[in-house]
Amino acid sequence: MTTDETPDETPAALIDRRIAGLNGWRGETLARLRAWIREADPEIEEAVKWRKPSNPAGVPVWERGGIICTGEVYKDKVKLTFAKGALLADPAGLFNASLDGNTRRAIDVREGETIDRDAFQALVREAAAANLAR
């Protein structure tokens, strides 16, 4: 927490509030993926970026040596976008969105879908290692 943040405005508190404000499967999915990210590498830091009047809650971001991924919520999906996903090995084929770009890759999770926890955490650890290697 920086000196200009109040306890209820820390990134963790803002993400908690965002998740609590989501009804049903989307909140549960984002909470589960967040927990998996934090388990994958305890040194990962949370941030909330791109807060603006049209999106006052901002976007949850997980970082270590740079952005690992962002977590966005849409009506029909929870989207985890890996900032440098195109550089990561994805043997389990988790990336299913933003496949045309040269840099980012995303995982869209729709209602009722599950993803492999171990494969997801391996991607998170690989993204952190790639950031730290720069």
Q: For the chain, what are the domain ranges?
A: 7-133
Q: How confident is the model at residue 57 (pLDDT cuts 50, 70, 90)?
A: confident
Chosen CATH of 7-133 out of 3.90.1150.200, 3.40.50.720, 3.40.50.10800, 3.40.50.11820: 3.90.1150.200
Phi, psi of 77 (to 5 degrees): -165, 160
Using CA atoms, how far apart are residues 51 and 114, in angstroms rounded to an integer?
A: 29
pTM of the model: 0.90
User: CA torsion angle for 50, 70, 14, 49 (degrees, to 10)?
Assistant: -20
Report pLDDT digits (tens) over 89-126: 999 999 999 988 889 999 999 999 999 999 999 999 99
Using CA atoms, how far apart are residues 69 and 111, in angstroms rounded to an integer?
A: 20
Q: What does the pLDDT read at residue 87?
A: 93
Using CA atoms, how far apart are residues 133 and 2, in angstroms rounded to an integer?
A: 26
Q: What does the pLDDT read at residue 134?
A: 79
Model confidence at 3: pLDDT above 50: no
Q: 54 or 29, which is more confident?
A: 29
